[in-house]
Structure 1
Amino acid sequence: MNYRLVIYLALIALFSACGQRSARKQSADVVNRTAKDIKADTSSSGTDSLITIVAVGDIMLGSSYPDSTGLPPDDAKGTFKYVIKDLKDADIAFANLEGVLLDTGAPVNYKLKFKHAPYLFRMPERYGSVIKAAGFNLISVGNNHSNDFDLAGRKSTVKVLDSLGLAFAGFKSQPLKEFTVNGVKYGFCAFSPNAQTVSLLNIKHAQKIISKLKANNDVVIVSFHGGGEGVGYEHVKDSVELFKGENRGDLVQFSHAAVDAGADLVIGHGPHVARAMELYKNKLIAYSLGNFATYKGVSVSGICGLAPLLKVKLNKMGEFVTGQIKSYRQDHFAGVKPDTFFRAARKIKSLTETDFLQPGISISDTGTITRVK
Structure 2
Amino acid sequence: MRKLLFFVIIFGFSSSIQAQKYSKEVLDSMYSITQQTKLELTKPKSIKLMAVGDIMMGTNFPNDSYLPPEGKGPFDNVNVILTQADILFGNLEGTLTDEGENAKRCSDPSKCYSFRSPESYGKYLEETGFDVMSIANNHIGDFGAIGIKNTSKTLEKHNIAYAGIFAQPSTIFEKNGITYGFCAFAPNKDCIKIHNLTNAKKIVEELKQKADIVIVSFHGGAEGLKHTHVTRKTERFYGEDRGNVYKFAHTMIDAGADVIIGHGPHVSRAFEVYKNKFIAYSLGNFCTYSRFNLDGIKGYAPIAEIEIDLDGNFMKGKLHSAKQIDEVYPFIDEKKRALKEIKKLTQEDFPESKLIFDEDGSFTQQKE
Q: Could you tell me which of 59, 75, 84 is aligned with 1:63? A: 59
Aligned residues: 327
1:360 is displaced (CA, Å) by 3.6
Secondary structure of residue in 1 paired with 2:153? helix
Q: Deviation at 1:149?
A: 0.7
Separation (CA, whole Å) in 1 of partners of 2:107 and 2:266: 22
Query: Do 1:346 and 1:366's aligned partners in 2 also have CA atoms closer than 8 Å?
Result: no
2: distance between equivalents of 1:114 and 1:302?
Answer: 27
Deviation track 1:71-100 (CA, whole Å, cap 9, x = no partner) reads 01126x422112212222111100000000
Pair 114,136 (structure 1): closer, same or farther in 2 beyond 3 Å: farther
Instruction: Choose which of 221, 226, 238 in structure 1 pairs with 2:232.
Output: 238
1:161 CA drift (Å): 0.7
**What SS does the aligned partner of 2:198 have?**
helix
Cα contact 2:304–2:317 (8 A) shared by 1:
yes
Tell whether the 8 Å contact from 1:78 to 1:334 is kept in structure 2 after alignment. no
Q: Give the letter aligned to residue 88 of structure 1.
A: T
| Counterpart amino acid of residue 322 in structure 2 | Y
Q: Provide the rounded CA distance (Å) in 2 between the counterparts of 1:306 and 1:94.
A: 17
SS class of match (2:321): strand
- The residue correspondences of 1:267-306 to structure 2 (distance < 5 A) are 267-306=261-300
1:87 equivalenced with 2:86 (yes/no):
no
Shift of 1:333: 4.0
For 1:340 and 1:167, locate their aligned partners in 2 and report how far apart those are by CA, in whole Å: 32
Separation in 2, partners of 1:111, 1:51: 44
Would you identify which runs of 4 or more consecutive aligned residues in structure 1 move more than 6 Å?
none
**In structure 1, the residue corresponding to 2:226 is in which secondary structure?**
helix
**Cα distance 1:113–1:368, how it changes in 2: closer, same or farther (>3 A)?**
farther
- State the AA in 1 paired with 2:310: K
- RMSD, matched Cα: 1.7
Moved more, 126-135 or 248-257: 126-135
Unaligned runs of 5+ in 1: 1-44
Measured after TM superposition, the shift of residue 131 of structure 1 is: 1.3
1:106 shift after superposition: 1.0
**Is 2:178 aligned against 1:194?**
no
Is residue 2:131 matched to residue 1:140? no
Q: Distance in 2 between matches of 1:225 and 1:111?
A: 23
Structure 1 distance, partners of 2:210, 2:354, is 28
1:159 maps to: 153
Cα deviations by residue, 1:14-66 (Å, 9 ceiling, x for unpaired): xxxxxxxxxxxxxxxxxxxxxxxxxxxxxxx9x95111101000001111001
> What are the superposed Cα offsets for residues 196-249 of structure 1, whole Å, 9 maximum, x if unpaired?
101001011101000110111110000000011111111111100000000000
Shift, 1:323, TM fit = 0.3
Matches within 5 A, 1:196-275: 196-275=190-269
Alignment equivalent of 2:162, drawn from 160, 168, 182: 168
The answer to whether the 8 A contact 1:322-1:370 is kept is yes
For residues 365 and 290 of structure 1, the distance between their equivalents in structure 2, rounded to whole angstroms, comes to 21
Change (3 A) 1:167 1:284: same
- The 3 A distance-change label for structure 1 pair 124 and 263 is same
Q: 1:359 offset after TM fit, Å?
A: 2.1
Percent of aligned pairs sharing the same letter: 44
TM-score normalised over the length of structure 2 = 0.86
On the 8 A contact 1:214/1:263 being kept in 2, the answer is yes
In structure 1, how many angstroms separate the alpha carbons of the residues matched to 2:284 and 2:327? 19
Contact map agreement 1:331 1:337 (CA 8 A) in 2: no
Whose Rg is larger? 2
CA distance in 1, matches of 2:355, 2:308: 14
The residue that corresponds to 1:178 in the other structure is 172
Cα offset for 1:300? Answer: 1.6
Partners of 2:44 and 2:176 within 8 A in 1: no
Unaligned runs of 5+ in 2: 1-40
Q: Does residue 1:340 correspond to 2:334, yes or no?
A: yes
